Chains A and B, each alone.
Chain A
Amino acid sequence: MPGPVVVFVEQRDGKFKRASFEALSEGRRLATALGVPLHAVTAGEGIADAAKELGQYGADAVKVADHAKLKTYANAAYARIVSRQAGSASAVLMSASALGKDLAGHVAAMLGTSVAQDCTELHVEGGQILAKRPVYAGKAYATLAVNGGPMVATLRPNVFKAAAPDASKTVAVENLPLDARDTDFRAVVKEILASASKKIELTEANVIVSGGRGMKGPENWGLITDLAAALGGAAGASRAVVDAGWRPHEEQVGQTGKTVSPTLYIACGVSGAIQHLAGMSSSKFIVAINKDADAPIFKIANYGIVGDVLEVLPALTAEVKKLRE
């Protein structure tokens, strides 16, 4: 009898992440296909009550490690807790967030297995889980199977659909003991410096407006953030812009920046270098605004406008605002 699908659910300040609901929903689909139960595992402090919600996403069992020492992320301790729940699992899933990418490697090493990282598709074929993931920065896609042991996989945020919660479902919450060793707390988060502004996180944003060197200078960045704000999205940047010091590293999209998969990505004055595409080519709809009709960004854009961003952006923002009124 194959074991459960185990999903690690991530929380911050007692709030579960949407990307974890995506992982839970995908876990539900896999568990049903395999004919095994779905277990949700989470860790933190003071979250036992909130964890009841996880049953509404289809978990058959909800397990919570609730302890003051788990308030902030402690990689080895979190991994110890998850790996203890996963010895006989068919699969261990989590979001490919900053935390999930870090946690997965620890969990896998404790279980003596590997990780299918940043998957964009999972399915069951002949009773076996197959994981599809981009490699070479999205220039190829690998399909992987696991040879013994659970399939440990992280799921790219914004790619898998989160099911609507079913409020009629209730599941008892099981408390897990703090099953970690003292040595599991050697890397400790002392403090979290919150971003100055309450910006929407790039990797979680549904809409991203991103600017390149074609924006001409940091003084024009308001055109990017205005459109992003009008669309309820986040602002990103090319590496050229970050390296020029116009924008901080955390806003860089691409191979050495963030990998994003929004529903709508608007590239403004971005040439579309292969390293930039690496970070955004799995976006659902791509719009490019560039004055050079031959810019490579147009090759992957659904819609393009050939023109000066400094002129097109204010007009576009005005139109979007009109719609929102």
Chain B
Amino acid sequence: MNIVVCVKRVPDSSARIKVGADNKSIDPAGVEYVLNPYDEYAVEEALKLKEKAGAGEVTILALGGPESAETIRKALAMGADKGIHLKEGSQGRDFIATAQAIAAELKGRPLDILLFGNKAIDDDGAQVAAMVATLLGIPFVSTITKLELNGRNATAHRPVEGGVEVVEVALPAAFSAQKGLNEPRFASLKGIMAAKKKPLEEKPAVAGEPRLVLVRLDNPPARPVPRIVGTGKDAVPALIKLLREEAKVI
């Protein structure tokens, strides 16, 4: 079974993000980068599927600058077999240009299962996975919390408003991982050592054609000045009055 997991290097979820003076990029000072948290669920699921099947290969694919190699190694340390690094210069990519580069690499490769994170926590898109699947012409199920294989078929759970869709799909297929799918393992020291020797292929990413142009990047709109209404349950009447008369929400 050939499983490919797409991973992205993103700022840590607790990073302070400051818009740069150019109003086009973020100020990189002090920002730490990690393997996208949703992609950890995808990697974990791939490893579990391989373990269950007792055979197969898990390939990690990342598109990004030189530092993305580190992100791939993190997934290799968890237990994946090999990595592909689509190297990228400084050019910006939107979702479709990213998807085009990933699809170009995957086209023609043996592939049974393609896994993504639900979204990258930098651009908050949740778009690349559906785009890659569409470009490759394989079916896709997004934001899954459960995946079961049954021969060449898979059943996935996809939470939607007010319920869970049970989706059936034939392989090869793509899925994006939602929190709840599994508990990602930590890389062991042994895993980290082994990852250094695992194959990591580097190649230039094909040029993309971004269709969305960043006009500007701004700080979030300011919130009103916070107000402490009072202490303990005695403050409740004052809060009620504000919610009714000032906010007019109850």
Chain A interfacial positions (CB closer than 8 Å to B): 12, 72-73, 75-76, 79, 97-99, 101-102, 104-106, 108-110, 112-118, 130, 133-149, 183, 186-195, 199, 201, 203-204, 207, 231, 249-250, 252, 255-257, 263-264, 273-275, 278, 281, 284-287, 293, 298-308, 311-312, 314-316, 319-320, 323
Name which residue of chain A comes closest to B232, CB basis. Answer: A307
Q: How far is the CA of A311 from the CA of B236 in the complex (A)?
A: 11
Q: Contacts A118-B124, A137-B13, A231-B250 given; indicate if A183 touches B137 (C-beta within 8 A).
A: yes
Pairwise interchain contact A315-B95, C-beta atoms closer than 8 A:
no
Q: Contacts A137-B121, A256-B38 given; indicate if A113 touches B211 (C-beta within 8 A).
A: yes
Pairwise interchain contact A305-B232, C-beta atoms closer than 8 A:
yes
Q: List 21 A-B contacts (CB under 8 A).
A: A99-B160, A102-B142, A105-B129, A109-B131, A109-B135, A114-B97, A114-B211, A117-B126, A136-B15, A142-B216, A143-B214, A147-B211, A187-B141, A189-B165, A203-B161, A255-B13, A264-B249, A284-B249, A314-B233, A316-B236, A319-B236
Given contacts A193-B164, A300-B223, 4 further A-B contacts (CB under 8 A): A116-B212, A137-B124, A143-B218, A256-B13
Hey, what's the 0/1 contact readout for B219-237 against A, CB within 8 Å counting as 1? 1110110111111110111
Pairwise interchain contact B239-A287, C-beta atoms closer than 8 A:
yes
Q: Does B125 contact A (CB under 8 A)?
A: yes
Pairwise interchain contact B220-A192, C-beta atoms closer than 8 A:
no
Q: How far is the CA of A109 from the CA of B136 in the complex (A)?
A: 10
Give min CB distance, A175 to chain B, whole Å.
26
Q: How far is the CA of A306 from the CA of B160 in the complex (A)?
A: 36
Chain B interfacial positions (CB closer than 8 Å to A): 11, 13-17, 19, 26, 37-38, 94-97, 99, 121-131, 133-135, 137-143, 145, 155, 157-170, 173, 178-180, 210-221, 223-224, 226-233, 235-237, 239-240, 242-244, 247, 249-250
Pairwise interchain contact B130-A109, C-beta atoms closer than 8 A:
yes
User: B125's contact among A117, A148, A273, by CB below 8 Å, is which?
Assistant: A117
Name which residue of chain A comes closest to B118, CB basis. Answer: A256
Instruction: Note all chain B residues with C-beta closer than 8 A to A116.
Output: 212
Instruction: Note all chain B residues with C-beta closer than 8 A to A188.
Output: 167-169
Q: How far is the CA of A190 from the CA of B158 in the complex (A)?
A: 11
Q: Contacts A146-B213, A323-B240 given; indicate if A108 touches B161 (C-beta within 8 A).
A: no
Give min CB distance, B167 to chain A, whole Å.
5
Q: How far is the CA of A109 from the CA of B129 in the complex (A)?
A: 10
Name which residue of chain B comes closest to A324, CB basis. Answer: B250
Pairwise interchain contact A305-B249, C-beta atoms closer than 8 A:
no
Instruction: Note all chain B residues with C-beta closer than 8 A to A148.
Output: 211
Pairwise interchain contact B96-A305, C-beta atoms closer than 8 A:
no
Name which residue of chain B comes closest to A116, CB basis. Answer: B212
Name which residue of chain A comes closest to B17, CB basis. Answer: A139
Pairwise interchain contact B122-A135, C-beta atoms closer than 8 A:
yes
Q: Contacts A115-B125, A146-B213, A311-B233 given; indicate if A186 touches B134 (C-beta within 8 A).
A: no
